[in-house]
A and B are shown apart, each in its own frame.
Chain A
Amino acid sequence: MDHEPDPQFAEHLEWQIRTELRRSDRFARPAHPPYLRRLGVAALALLSLSAGAGGVMAAEHMQAAQERAAAQRQRELLLLRAGVLEEMSASRVEIAGRQLARIEQMHASGVASDETVASARVDCEQAQREQRRRQLDREEIEAGGVEPSDDLLAPLVDGRDFVAERLELEIEGVRRVLAAVVERHTRVARLFEAGLGSSQEVTEAELEVARADAEIRVLARRLDVRLAWARGEVQGERVLLLAMQAESEARLDAQRQHAALAARRLAQQRQMVEAGLAAPDPGLEAQVVAAEGEVRLLEIELELLANRLSAQQGSGAPEGEGRGR
Chain B
Amino acid sequence: MDDPGSMSAHPRSEPDWIRLYRETLRPLYAYVSRRAGSDRELAEDVTHEAWLRALEAWRGAGFPRDPLAWLKAVARNLLSNYYRRRRPEGIDAGEAAAEIGLEREELAPETPRAAALLHWGLARLRAPQARLLESFHFDGKGVAALAAELGLSERAVEGRLRRSRLALRDRLAPYFHPPDA
Contact = CB atoms under 8 A, between A and B. Distances in A.
Interface of A: 1-6, 9-10, 13-14, 16-18, 20-22, 24, 90, 93-94, 97-98, 101-102, 105, 124, 128, 131
B150 A101 contact: yes
Contacts of B17: 17, 21
Interface string B109-152: 01000000000000000111001000000000000000000111
A17 B18 contact: yes
A121 to B, nearest CB: 11
A interface: dominant SS: helix
Interface of B: 14, 17-18, 21-22, 25-26, 29-30, 33-34, 38, 40, 43-44, 47-48, 51-52, 55, 59, 108, 110, 126-128, 131, 150-153, 156
A23 to B, nearest CB: 11
Contacts of A20: 52, 55
Contacts of B152: 101, 105
With most chain B CB atoms within 10 A of its CB, the pick from A6, A13, A22 is: A13
Contact of A18 (B14, B128, B153): B14
B81 to A, nearest CB: 9
B78 to A, nearest CB: 13
Contact of A22 (B14, B21, B26): B14
Which 10 pairs across A and B sit closest by C-beta, in order of nearness? Answer: A3-B30, A3-B33, A5-B29, A97-B128, A9-B44, A93-B127, A21-B14, A101-B152, A128-B127, A3-B34
Contact of A13 (B34, B48, B128): B48
A10 B151 CA distance: 40
A22 B38 CA distance: 33
B55 A17 contact: yes
A5 B151 contact: no
Contact of A24 (B18, B25, B59, B110): B59
Given A14-B18, A17-B18, A93-B127, A101 B34 contact: no
Nearest to B27: A3
B18 A1 contact: no
